[in-house]
Amino acid sequence: MIQTQSFSINQPTKILFGADSVKQLSDLVAELGGSRVFLVADPGLKHAGIISHVSAILDTAKIPYTLYDKVTPEPGLKLADQGLKLAKKNKANCVVGVGGGSALDIAKAISILLTNDGKAEDYLGLGKIKLKGVPKIMIPTTAGTGAEVTFTAVFVNEKTNSKGGMNGDPLYPDAAILDPKLTLSLPSHVTAATGIDAFTHALEAFVSTQAHAISDMYALEAIDLISNNLRLAYANPANLEARSAMLLGSLLGGKALATAGVGLVHAMAYPLGGMFNTAHGLANAVLLPYVVEYNIIGCPDKYAAIAQIMGYETEGLPLREAAQLAVEAIHQLNADVGIPNSLGALNIPTDRIPEMARIALTVTRPVENNPRKPTEEDVIAVYEAAFNGSF
């Protein structure tokens, strides 16, 4: 395939990957010039002992920290503003985020709010952040959002009940620590939803109109890692090898999306999060096979390649048939890890579909990246298919 796409890449995040790599946190804080840490952590990690494990590393190194664990799924802007107040009061000069995408997004936002004036709402959109934030280190405990290597932080705007992202280079974390041991306690249903989210990042980046040689490299490797390991991690949460592969796949999916973007699945999942608080990963996972089915005619060769990576025999098949196998492969992956095959299972009322479709089309960048340009009627048809369980 000839690559004609122009691209520019700025992926400045230092990456530490491996079992027990979290032990290097204190050295990393010092290396980045931090001396007072603001620790943003998902409260769900308490019972797994992860917060105490991370804070003990700071304690041992005598690095003072303030714990902020008011993280919720699909966080509102006010969580970033409240955290900012506490971080300022404690004179934090380094932010560490521990958890899933919500914790990392709040941590990223607080880092830039500490150096830029104003409130979180002021920075929704692209390129509004002027100054680099205080050093920020991300420690993902799901595999996952890839938020540890992206320049985006997504929030629910409580005023409009819609989701919105801050986007800009200052949001790139200075460092990410990926320790697969921290993902061992993830419950299976979270492993499934976050794993398919990571898979969706890789898939949507691969078929994106912005895809290029380097994003393809990340995306294809991520598709391979995730599709071959998600079932193993779901079936046996203690499988460290599968957890490592998933965390690496999630990281590579994040690196792919950071440069090639995501597509219609993410645009259509946005209103589900904003209007009904549906978890991001789950919304994407349910929508994914229906969007792929709709998209197929936009780049059948790429979907055929995905089917092949996912273990389907495509040789000798007409291109369209080979591409169609990707839909089957994704339905099977979803079914194997307990993802419902219909939006009906998420308690979303069908009479809100037209409103959902309108909102999805306002998520402009993912819609533009999509390999097939959707009309409002198209988006309605895809939502309806995702309700009915078939096109």
Q: Smallest gap, in angstroms, from Cβ of residue 253 to Fe ion?
A: 9
CA distance 13 to 66: 24
CB 84 within 8 A of CB 118: no
Looking at beta carbons only, is 74 or 197 nearer to Fe ion?
A: 197
Looking at beta carbons only, is 94 or 363 nearer to Fe ion?
A: 363
Looking at beta carbons only, is 356 or 363 nearer to Fe ion?
A: 363
Q: Give the binding range for Fe ion (CB under 5 A) out of 4-12, 178-186, 196-204, 303-311.
A: 196-204
The residue with its CB nearest to Fe ion is 197
Q: Give the binding range for Fe ion (CB under 5 A) out of 77-85, 152-160, 195-203, 211-219.
A: 195-203
Looking at beta carbons only, is 21 or 370 nearer to Fe ion?
A: 370
Q: Could you tell me the two tokens for 254?
A: 């994040």
Looking at beta carbons only, is 200 or 324 nearer to Fe ion?
A: 200
- Show the beta-strand stretches assigned E in 7-81: 14-17, 37-41, 65-68
CB 302 within 8 A of CB 390: no
Beta bridge partners, 38, equal 66, 95
Q: Could you tell me the two tokens for 138?
A: 């991300």
Looking at beta carbons only, is 177 or 265 nearer to Fe ion?
A: 265
CB 50 within 8 A of CB 22: no
Q: How is the chain split among helix, strand and coil, in percent rounded to 5?
A: 55, 10, 30
How many residues at the interface with Fe ion, by CB under 5 A?
1
Cα dihedral across residues 140, 129, 157, 380: positive or negative? negative
Q: Smallest gap, in angstroms, from Cβ of residue 326 to Fe ion?
A: 19
Q: Smallest gap, in angstroms, from Cβ of residue 205 to Fe ion?
A: 11
Looking at beta carbons only, is 120 or 202 nearer to Fe ion?
A: 202
Residues 355 to 384 in contact with Fe ion, rule: CB under 5 A: none
Q: Smallest gap, in angstroms, from Cβ of residue 248 to Fe ion?
A: 17
Q: Smallest gap, in angstroms, from Cβ of residue 237 to Fe ion?
A: 21
CB 195 within 8 A of CB 233: yes
Q: Smallest gap, in angstroms, from Cβ of residue 142 to Fe ion?
A: 11
- Residue in 74, 174, 179, 197 binding Fe ion, rule: CB under 5 A: 197
Q: What is the DSSP letter of 131?
A: S
Map residue 273 onto helix, strand or coil. Answer: helix
CA neighbor of 101 nearest in space, from 338, 283, 329, 331: 283
Q: Smallest gap, in angstroms, from Cβ of residue 64 to Fe ion?
A: 34
- Cβ burial of 333 (10 Å; 0-12, 13-18, 19+) is buried
Q: Could you tell me the two tokens for 203?
A: 């898939």
Site membership for Fe ion, residue 74 (CB under 5 A): no
Looking at beta carbons only, is 101 or 371 nearer to Fe ion?
A: 101
Q: Give the binding range for Fe ion (CB under 5 A) out of 80-88, 169-177, 190-198, 302-310.
A: 190-198
CA neighbor of 272 nearest in space, from 328, 355, 153: 355
Positions touching Fe ion (CB under 5 A) are: 197
